[in-house]
């Protein structure tokens, strides 16, 4: 009879500790941080980019000036969403920083 590997499945590993199959695994801290950062980025876009951009679009000139920033912020927010889905932490931090800079500039 052949022996199986003594190493546990990577799916049962949480922070280097092996979880038993019957118990519930704790929520990973990185997943919670990604959720909080994604929520924060959404609020930054809404409150610092989208709302001021809409409020300052009273005429065609204001619309032409501020609508592009709202779209740029929306594209960056899409990058944040993709980084969360792809588990790309470096990209998530980059997109979050750029969105925050755009929001503070608005």
CA dihedral sign of residues 9, 28, 99, 77 = positive
Report residue 99's pLDDT band, with 50, 70 and 90 as the boundaries: confident
How does pLDDT run across 37-73, given as a tens digit for each residue? 889 888 988 888 888 888 888 888 888 888 888 888 8
- Does residue 20 form part of some domain? no
Quick check: 15 pLDDT over 60?
Answer: no
Count of domains for the chain: 1
Residue 36 included in any domain: yes
Q: What is the pTM of this model?
A: 0.63
Q: Which residue has the higher pLDDT, 19 or 40?
A: 40
Q: Which domain holds residue 79?
A: 27-105
Question: Residue 15 domain-assigned?
Answer: no
């Amino acid at each position: 009879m052949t022996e199986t590997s003594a190493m546990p499945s990577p799916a049962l590993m949480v922070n280097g500790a092996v979880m038993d199959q019957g118990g519930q695994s704790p929520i990973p801290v990185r997943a919670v941080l990604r959720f909080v950062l994604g929520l924060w980025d959404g609020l930054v876009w809404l409150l610092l980019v989208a709302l001021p951009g809409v409020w300052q679009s009273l005429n065609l000139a204001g619309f032409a000036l501020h609508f592009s920033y709202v779209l740029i912020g929306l594209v960056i927010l899409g990058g944040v969403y993709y980084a969360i889905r792809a588990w790309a932490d470096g990209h998530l931090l980059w997109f979050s920083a750029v969105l925050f800079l755009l929001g503070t500039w608005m």
